[in-house]
Structure 1
Amino acid sequence: MSDLTPNHQPGEPLEPIDGEKLAALAEKNINNPEGGRKTIRTHTEADGLFRNYTQIRNLEPVLVSEPPQLLGDDSAPNPTEVAQSALAACISVGIQAIATHRGVTLTKIAIDIESDIDISPTWGVGDLNDDKRPGVSDVRVKIDLEGDADRETLDQIQKDAIQWSPVVNTYTRPANLTSELV
Protein backbone atom coordinates (compact mmCIF):
# COMPACT_ATOMS: atom_id res chain seq x y z
CA MET A 1 0.00 0.00 0.00
CA SER A 2 1.29 3.47 -0.85
CA ASP A 3 1.27 6.37 1.58
CA LEU A 4 -0.33 8.39 -1.21
CA THR A 5 -3.09 5.89 -1.98
CA PRO A 6 -4.31 4.31 1.25
CA ASN A 7 -7.35 2.74 -0.43
CA HIS A 8 -5.48 0.90 -3.18
CA GLN A 9 -3.35 -2.23 -2.94
CA PRO A 10 -0.58 -2.53 -5.59
CA GLY A 11 -1.55 -4.87 -8.41
CA GLU A 12 -5.24 -4.81 -7.54
CA PRO A 13 -7.76 -3.13 -9.86
CA LEU A 14 -8.40 0.51 -9.09
CA GLU A 15 -11.80 1.12 -7.54
CA PRO A 16 -13.96 1.48 -10.64
CA ILE A 17 -16.13 4.36 -11.62
CA ASP A 18 -19.69 3.55 -12.66
CA GLY A 19 -19.50 2.74 -16.38
CA GLU A 20 -23.26 3.11 -16.87
CA LYS A 21 -23.26 6.57 -15.29
CA LEU A 22 -20.25 7.52 -17.42
CA ALA A 23 -22.11 6.42 -20.56
CA ALA A 24 -25.22 8.34 -19.46
CA LEU A 25 -23.18 11.49 -18.81
CA ALA A 26 -21.52 11.17 -22.22
CA GLU A 27 -24.87 10.66 -23.95
CA LYS A 28 -26.38 13.63 -22.11
CA ASN A 29 -23.56 15.88 -23.34
CA ILE A 30 -23.73 14.49 -26.88
CA ASN A 31 -27.47 15.23 -27.00
CA ASN A 32 -27.10 18.66 -25.38
CA PRO A 33 -23.61 20.09 -25.94
CA GLU A 34 -24.60 23.44 -24.43
CA GLY A 35 -25.53 21.66 -21.20
CA GLY A 36 -21.87 20.77 -20.75
CA ARG A 37 -20.84 24.41 -20.40
CA LYS A 38 -20.40 25.29 -16.74
CA THR A 39 -19.04 28.13 -14.64
CA ILE A 40 -16.58 27.18 -11.92
CA ARG A 41 -16.49 29.50 -8.93
CA THR A 42 -13.89 29.80 -6.20
CA HIS A 43 -13.32 32.40 -3.49
CA THR A 44 -9.83 33.13 -2.13
CA GLU A 45 -8.83 35.26 0.83
CA ALA A 46 -5.30 36.17 1.92
CA ASP A 47 -4.24 35.26 5.46
CA GLY A 48 -0.80 36.95 5.50
CA LEU A 49 2.71 35.69 4.72
CA PHE A 50 1.48 34.55 1.29
CA ARG A 51 -1.01 32.10 2.86
CA ASN A 52 -4.25 32.03 0.91
CA TYR A 53 -7.37 30.02 1.64
CA THR A 54 -9.67 29.12 -1.23
CA GLN A 55 -13.25 27.99 -0.82
CA ILE A 56 -14.34 25.50 -3.48
CA ARG A 57 -17.97 24.39 -3.44
CA ASN A 58 -18.82 23.33 0.14
CA LEU A 59 -15.49 21.57 0.75
CA GLU A 60 -12.92 22.41 3.40
CA PRO A 61 -10.90 25.46 2.31
CA VAL A 62 -7.73 24.74 0.38
CA LEU A 63 -4.55 26.35 1.71
CA VAL A 64 -1.98 27.59 -0.81
CA SER A 65 1.24 29.27 0.29
CA GLU A 66 4.86 29.72 -0.73
CA PRO A 67 8.11 28.05 0.33
CA PRO A 68 10.64 29.99 2.44
CA GLN A 69 12.84 30.81 -0.59
CA LEU A 70 9.82 32.72 -1.95
CA LEU A 71 9.19 34.43 1.40
CA GLY A 72 6.41 32.08 2.51
CA ASP A 73 6.07 29.95 5.62
CA ASP A 74 6.08 26.58 3.80
CA SER A 75 2.64 25.73 5.21
CA ALA A 76 1.22 24.47 1.91
CA PRO A 77 1.98 23.93 -1.78
CA ASN A 78 2.53 27.08 -3.80
CA PRO A 79 0.17 28.14 -6.63
CA THR A 80 2.27 26.56 -9.38
CA GLU A 81 2.50 23.28 -7.47
CA VAL A 82 -1.27 23.28 -6.97
CA ALA A 83 -1.76 23.91 -10.70
CA GLN A 84 0.62 21.06 -11.48
CA SER A 85 -1.20 18.73 -9.08
CA ALA A 86 -4.49 19.71 -10.75
CA LEU A 87 -2.91 18.88 -14.10
CA ALA A 88 -1.89 15.41 -12.92
CA ALA A 89 -5.27 14.74 -11.29
CA CYS A 90 -7.14 15.82 -14.43
CA ILE A 91 -5.02 13.52 -16.59
CA SER A 92 -5.60 10.67 -14.13
CA VAL A 93 -9.37 11.21 -14.15
CA GLY A 94 -9.36 11.21 -17.94
CA ILE A 95 -7.30 8.03 -18.07
CA GLN A 96 -9.69 6.22 -15.74
CA ALA A 97 -12.77 7.43 -17.63
CA ILE A 98 -11.36 6.48 -21.05
CA ALA A 99 -10.17 3.09 -19.77
CA THR A 100 -13.62 2.43 -18.26
CA HIS A 101 -15.30 3.42 -21.53
CA ARG A 102 -13.02 1.05 -23.46
CA GLY A 103 -13.46 -1.85 -21.03
CA VAL A 104 -9.89 -1.72 -19.70
CA THR A 105 -9.35 -2.46 -16.00
CA LEU A 106 -6.45 -0.46 -14.60
CA THR A 107 -4.32 -1.53 -11.66
CA LYS A 108 -2.06 1.52 -11.60
CA ILE A 109 -2.10 5.16 -12.62
CA ALA A 110 0.99 7.06 -11.49
CA ILE A 111 1.88 10.45 -12.94
CA ASP A 112 5.10 12.39 -12.45
CA ILE A 113 5.32 15.95 -13.71
CA GLU A 114 8.28 18.28 -13.90
CA SER A 115 7.96 21.84 -15.11
CA ASP A 116 10.36 24.70 -15.65
CA ILE A 117 9.60 28.16 -14.33
CA ASP A 118 11.56 31.40 -14.26
CA ILE A 119 10.78 33.16 -10.99
CA SER A 120 13.18 36.06 -11.61
CA PRO A 121 10.34 38.48 -12.49
CA THR A 122 9.25 37.98 -8.82
CA TRP A 123 5.62 39.06 -9.08
CA GLY A 124 6.45 42.13 -11.15
CA VAL A 125 9.06 43.56 -8.78
CA GLY A 126 12.13 41.62 -9.97
CA ASP A 127 13.87 41.23 -13.33
CA LEU A 128 11.31 42.65 -15.75
CA ASN A 129 13.09 42.31 -19.09
CA ASP A 130 10.72 42.02 -22.03
CA ASP A 131 11.95 38.49 -22.74
CA LYS A 132 10.82 37.26 -19.33
CA ARG A 133 7.93 34.80 -19.28
CA PRO A 134 6.35 34.51 -15.87
CA GLY A 135 4.86 31.10 -15.39
CA VAL A 136 5.69 27.61 -16.48
CA SER A 137 7.44 27.32 -19.82
CA ASP A 138 7.99 23.58 -20.27
CA VAL A 139 6.05 20.69 -18.76
CA ARG A 140 7.15 17.06 -18.87
CA VAL A 141 4.53 14.44 -17.98
CA LYS A 142 5.45 10.80 -17.36
CA ILE A 143 2.57 8.36 -16.98
CA ASP A 144 2.91 4.85 -15.58
CA LEU A 145 -0.16 2.74 -16.41
CA GLU A 146 -0.82 -0.89 -15.66
CA GLY A 147 -3.91 -2.90 -16.43
CA ASP A 148 -5.39 -5.71 -18.47
CA ALA A 149 -4.48 -4.18 -21.83
CA ASP A 150 -1.38 -4.21 -24.00
CA ARG A 151 1.10 -1.33 -23.98
CA GLU A 152 -0.24 0.08 -27.28
CA THR A 153 -3.78 0.31 -25.84
CA LEU A 154 -2.54 1.89 -22.62
CA ASP A 155 -0.49 4.39 -24.63
CA GLN A 156 -3.54 5.37 -26.69
CA ILE A 157 -5.58 5.82 -23.51
CA GLN A 158 -3.00 8.22 -22.07
CA LYS A 159 -2.68 10.10 -25.37
CA ASP A 160 -6.45 10.52 -25.55
CA ALA A 161 -6.57 11.66 -21.92
CA ILE A 162 -3.95 14.31 -22.70
CA GLN A 163 -5.89 15.47 -25.76
CA TRP A 164 -9.21 15.83 -23.91
CA SER A 165 -8.05 16.98 -20.48
CA PRO A 166 -9.56 20.36 -19.55
CA VAL A 167 -6.49 21.23 -17.46
CA VAL A 168 -4.03 20.18 -20.19
CA ASN A 169 -5.96 22.42 -22.55
CA THR A 170 -5.84 25.24 -19.99
CA TYR A 171 -2.04 24.90 -20.03
CA THR A 172 -1.71 24.60 -23.81
CA ARG A 173 -4.40 26.92 -25.20
CA PRO A 174 -4.66 30.58 -24.33
CA ALA A 175 -7.65 31.36 -22.14
CA ASN A 176 -9.39 34.71 -22.10
CA LEU A 177 -8.69 36.25 -18.71
CA THR A 178 -10.02 39.56 -17.48
CA SER A 179 -9.61 41.25 -14.12
CA GLU A 180 -11.32 44.14 -12.44
CA LEU A 181 -11.08 45.92 -9.14
CA VAL A 182 -14.40 45.66 -7.28
Structure 2
Amino acid sequence: MSDLTPKHQDGEALEPIDKDKLSELAQKNIDNPEGGRKKIRTHTEADGHFRNYTKVRDLDPVLVSEPYPLLGDNTAPNPTEIAQAGLAACISVGIQAIATHRGVELTKIDIDIESDIDISPTWGVGDIEGEKRPGVSDVRVTVDLDGDADRETLQKIVDDAVEWSPVVNTYTRPANLTAELA
Protein backbone atom coordinates (compact mmCIF):
# COMPACT_ATOMS: atom_id res chain seq x y z
CA MET A 1 0.00 0.00 0.00
CA SER A 2 1.23 3.46 -0.88
CA ASP A 3 1.14 6.31 1.61
CA LEU A 4 -0.14 8.40 -1.29
CA THR A 5 -3.25 6.21 -1.69
CA PRO A 6 -4.12 4.84 1.76
CA LYS A 7 -7.55 3.51 0.71
CA HIS A 8 -6.10 1.20 -1.96
CA GLN A 9 -4.25 -2.07 -1.36
CA ASP A 10 -1.72 -3.14 -4.02
CA GLY A 11 -3.15 -5.77 -6.34
CA GLU A 12 -6.77 -5.18 -5.32
CA ALA A 13 -9.32 -3.73 -7.70
CA LEU A 14 -9.61 0.03 -7.57
CA GLU A 15 -12.83 1.20 -5.95
CA PRO A 16 -15.22 1.14 -8.90
CA ILE A 17 -17.34 3.92 -10.25
CA ASP A 18 -21.01 3.22 -10.89
CA LYS A 19 -21.17 1.81 -14.43
CA ASP A 20 -24.92 2.45 -14.75
CA LYS A 21 -24.57 6.09 -13.70
CA LEU A 22 -21.64 6.48 -16.12
CA SER A 23 -23.86 5.16 -18.92
CA GLU A 24 -26.72 7.47 -17.84
CA LEU A 25 -24.39 10.48 -17.85
CA ALA A 26 -23.05 9.57 -21.29
CA GLN A 27 -26.56 9.06 -22.68
CA LYS A 28 -27.80 12.31 -21.17
CA ASN A 29 -25.04 14.16 -23.04
CA ILE A 30 -25.66 12.21 -26.24
CA ASP A 31 -29.34 13.15 -26.07
CA ASN A 32 -28.59 16.77 -25.18
CA PRO A 33 -25.07 17.81 -26.24
CA GLU A 34 -25.68 21.41 -25.11
CA GLY A 35 -26.34 20.10 -21.60
CA GLY A 36 -22.78 18.85 -21.49
CA ARG A 37 -21.39 22.36 -21.82
CA LYS A 38 -20.57 23.70 -18.36
CA LYS A 39 -18.78 26.65 -16.80
CA ILE A 40 -15.96 26.06 -14.35
CA ARG A 41 -15.47 28.86 -11.87
CA THR A 42 -12.62 29.46 -9.49
CA HIS A 43 -11.70 32.42 -7.30
CA THR A 44 -8.08 33.18 -6.37
CA GLU A 45 -6.77 35.68 -3.84
CA ALA A 46 -3.11 36.59 -3.34
CA ASP A 47 -1.77 36.29 0.20
CA GLY A 48 1.68 37.79 -0.47
CA HIS A 49 5.08 36.17 -1.09
CA PHE A 50 3.63 34.39 -4.17
CA ARG A 51 1.09 32.50 -2.02
CA ASN A 52 -2.35 32.28 -3.64
CA TYR A 53 -5.47 30.65 -2.29
CA THR A 54 -8.00 29.38 -4.80
CA LYS A 55 -11.58 28.50 -3.98
CA VAL A 56 -13.17 25.77 -6.08
CA ARG A 57 -16.87 24.99 -5.59
CA ASP A 58 -17.56 24.63 -1.84
CA LEU A 59 -14.25 22.89 -1.09
CA ASP A 60 -11.46 24.09 1.17
CA PRO A 61 -9.18 26.59 -0.56
CA VAL A 62 -6.21 25.22 -2.49
CA LEU A 63 -2.86 26.84 -1.74
CA VAL A 64 -0.56 27.51 -4.70
CA SER A 65 2.88 29.04 -4.20
CA GLU A 66 6.40 28.97 -5.64
CA PRO A 67 9.55 27.17 -4.52
CA TYR A 68 12.47 29.03 -2.94
CA PRO A 69 14.44 29.31 -6.22
CA LEU A 70 11.48 31.19 -7.73
CA LEU A 71 11.24 33.56 -4.73
CA GLY A 72 8.36 31.76 -3.05
CA ASP A 73 8.11 30.23 0.40
CA ASN A 74 7.96 26.61 -0.83
CA THR A 75 4.70 25.97 1.05
CA ALA A 76 2.74 24.49 -1.86
CA PRO A 77 2.98 23.37 -5.49
CA ASN A 78 3.47 26.14 -8.02
CA PRO A 79 0.91 26.93 -10.74
CA THR A 80 2.62 24.75 -13.37
CA GLU A 81 2.82 21.82 -10.94
CA ILE A 82 -0.88 22.23 -10.14
CA ALA A 83 -1.65 22.23 -13.88
CA GLN A 84 0.44 19.07 -14.29
CA ALA A 85 -1.35 17.43 -11.34
CA GLY A 86 -4.65 18.30 -13.01
CA LEU A 87 -3.39 16.76 -16.24
CA ALA A 88 -2.48 13.50 -14.50
CA ALA A 89 -5.75 13.36 -12.58
CA CYS A 90 -7.78 14.02 -15.73
CA ILE A 91 -6.01 11.20 -17.59
CA SER A 92 -6.56 8.92 -14.59
CA VAL A 93 -10.29 9.73 -14.45
CA GLY A 94 -10.56 9.00 -18.17
CA ILE A 95 -8.73 5.70 -17.80
CA GLN A 96 -11.04 4.59 -15.01
CA ALA A 97 -14.20 5.66 -16.88
CA ILE A 98 -13.18 4.00 -20.14
CA ALA A 99 -12.07 0.81 -18.38
CA THR A 100 -15.37 0.69 -16.49
CA HIS A 101 -17.34 1.23 -19.70
CA ARG A 102 -15.41 -1.60 -21.41
CA GLY A 103 -15.73 -3.99 -18.47
CA VAL A 104 -12.04 -3.94 -17.53
CA GLU A 105 -11.29 -4.14 -13.81
CA LEU A 106 -8.23 -2.09 -12.92
CA THR A 107 -5.92 -2.72 -9.98
CA LYS A 108 -3.47 0.12 -10.56
CA ILE A 109 -3.31 3.52 -12.20
CA ASP A 110 -0.01 5.32 -11.56
CA ILE A 111 0.87 8.31 -13.71
CA ASP A 112 4.21 10.09 -13.85
CA ILE A 113 4.57 13.32 -15.78
CA GLU A 114 7.75 15.15 -16.61
CA SER A 115 7.70 18.39 -18.55
CA ASP A 116 10.16 20.97 -19.81
CA ILE A 117 9.64 24.63 -19.02
CA ASP A 118 11.57 27.80 -19.87
CA ILE A 119 11.40 30.18 -16.93
CA SER A 120 13.95 32.66 -18.31
CA PRO A 121 11.22 35.20 -19.21
CA THR A 122 10.61 35.47 -15.41
CA TRP A 123 6.98 36.56 -15.64
CA GLY A 124 7.82 39.14 -18.31
CA VAL A 125 10.57 40.92 -16.36
CA GLY A 126 13.45 38.65 -17.40
CA ASP A 127 14.85 37.53 -20.74
CA ILE A 128 11.99 38.33 -23.10
CA GLU A 129 14.02 38.73 -26.28
CA GLY A 130 13.51 36.58 -29.35
CA GLU A 131 11.22 33.62 -29.52
CA LYS A 132 10.92 32.94 -25.79
CA ARG A 133 7.96 30.74 -24.95
CA PRO A 134 7.05 30.89 -21.30
CA GLY A 135 5.41 27.76 -20.05
CA VAL A 136 5.66 24.08 -20.72
CA SER A 137 6.97 23.03 -24.12
CA ASP A 138 7.24 19.24 -23.90
CA VAL A 139 5.24 16.88 -21.70
CA ARG A 140 6.05 13.21 -21.20
CA VAL A 141 3.36 11.05 -19.59
CA THR A 142 4.11 7.53 -18.33
CA VAL A 143 1.16 5.41 -17.23
CA ASP A 144 1.66 2.27 -15.13
CA LEU A 145 -1.64 0.43 -15.50
CA ASP A 146 -2.66 -3.02 -14.28
CA GLY A 147 -5.94 -4.84 -14.59
CA ASP A 148 -7.67 -7.91 -15.94
CA ALA A 149 -6.93 -7.12 -19.59
CA ASP A 150 -4.01 -7.70 -21.93
CA ARG A 151 -1.40 -5.03 -22.62
CA GLU A 152 -2.92 -4.08 -25.99
CA THR A 153 -6.33 -3.43 -24.38
CA LEU A 154 -4.75 -1.42 -21.57
CA GLN A 155 -2.78 0.66 -24.11
CA LYS A 156 -5.99 1.38 -26.05
CA ILE A 157 -7.65 2.55 -22.81
CA VAL A 158 -4.71 4.90 -22.15
CA ASP A 159 -4.71 6.17 -25.74
CA ASP A 160 -8.43 6.88 -25.64
CA ALA A 161 -8.21 8.55 -22.21
CA VAL A 162 -5.50 10.86 -23.52
CA GLU A 163 -7.46 11.63 -26.70
CA TRP A 164 -10.65 12.53 -24.80
CA SER A 165 -9.11 14.23 -21.75
CA PRO A 166 -10.35 17.82 -21.38
CA VAL A 167 -7.06 18.80 -19.73
CA VAL A 168 -4.93 17.13 -22.42
CA ASN A 169 -6.95 19.06 -24.98
CA THR A 170 -6.41 22.25 -22.99
CA TYR A 171 -2.66 21.62 -23.20
CA THR A 172 -2.65 20.71 -26.88
CA ARG A 173 -5.34 22.89 -28.44
CA PRO A 174 -5.35 26.63 -27.97
CA ALA A 175 -8.18 27.96 -25.85
CA ASN A 176 -9.67 31.40 -26.31
CA LEU A 177 -8.53 33.38 -23.29
CA THR A 178 -9.43 36.95 -22.43
CA ALA A 179 -8.32 38.98 -19.43
CA GLU A 180 -9.69 42.26 -18.18
CA LEU A 181 -9.20 44.49 -15.19
CA ALA A 182 -12.29 44.36 -12.95
TM-score tier, shorter chain, comes to over 0.9
> 1:36 — aligned with what?
36
CA shift digits 1:21-47 (9 cap, x unpaired): 000000000000000000000000000
Partner Cα separation in structure 1 for residue 141 and residue 33 of structure 2: 30
Match of 1:130 in 2: 130
Cα displacement string for residues 126-182 of structure 1 (whole angstroms, at most 9, x for unaligned residues): 000131000000000000100000000000000000000000000000000000001
Q: Which residue type is aligned with residue 11 of structure 2?
A: G
Q: Equivalent residue for 2:163?
A: 163
- Give the TM-score of the pair, scaled to structure 1: 1.00
**SS in structure 2 at match of 1:137:** strand
Count of matched residue pairs:
182
- Separation in structure 1 between the aligned mates of residue 3 and residue 135 of structure 2, nearest angstrom: 30
Q: How does 1:9-48 map to 2 (within 5 A)?
A: 9-48=9-48
Equivalent position of 2:68 in the other structure: 68
CA distance in 2, matches of 1:144, 1:68: 31
Please provide the CA RMSD for this pair. 0.3
SS where residue 161 of structure 1 aligns? helix
Name the CA distance, whole Å, in 1 between partners of 2:87 and 2:153.
22
Following superposition, the deviation at residue 67 of structure 1 comes to 0.1
Say which SS state the counterpart of residue 162 (structure 1) adopts: helix
Q: Could you say which residue in structure 2 is the equivalent of 1:118? A: 118
| Structure 2 residue 138 is the aligned partner of structure 1 residue 153 | no
Which secondary structure state, in structure 2, belongs to the residue aligned with residue 141 of structure 1?
Answer: strand
Give, as a single letter, the amino acid of the residue that structure 2 aligns with 1:39: K
Report the Cα distance in structure 1 between the residues aligned to 2:28 and 2:131, rounded to whole angstroms.
Answer: 46
Quote the Cα distance in structure 2 between the aligned partners of 1:179 and 1:109: 37
SS across alignment from 1:155: helix
Superposition deviation, residue 80 in structure 1: 0.2
Give the TM-score taking structure 2 as reference length.
Answer: 1.00
d(CA) in 2 for partners of 1:151, 1:36: 32
Tell me, in whole angstroms, the C-alpha distance in 1 between the residues paired with 2:4 and 2:104. 23
Amino acid in the other structure paired with 1:55: K
Stretches of 4+ aligned residues off by more than 2 angstroms: none
SS at match of 1:114: strand
Q: How far does residue 94 in structure 1 lie from its aligned partner after superposition?
A: 0.1
For residue 87 of structure 2, what is the aligned residue in structure 1? 87
1:78 is the counterpart of 2:78:
yes
Q: What residue ranges of structure 1 are gaps of 5+ in the alignment?
A: none
Structure 1 distance, partners of 2:130, 2:120, is 12
SS at match of 1:144: strand
Query: Is 1:49 equivalent to 2:22 in the alignment?
Result: no
Distance in 2 of aligned mates of 1:20 and 1:173: 31
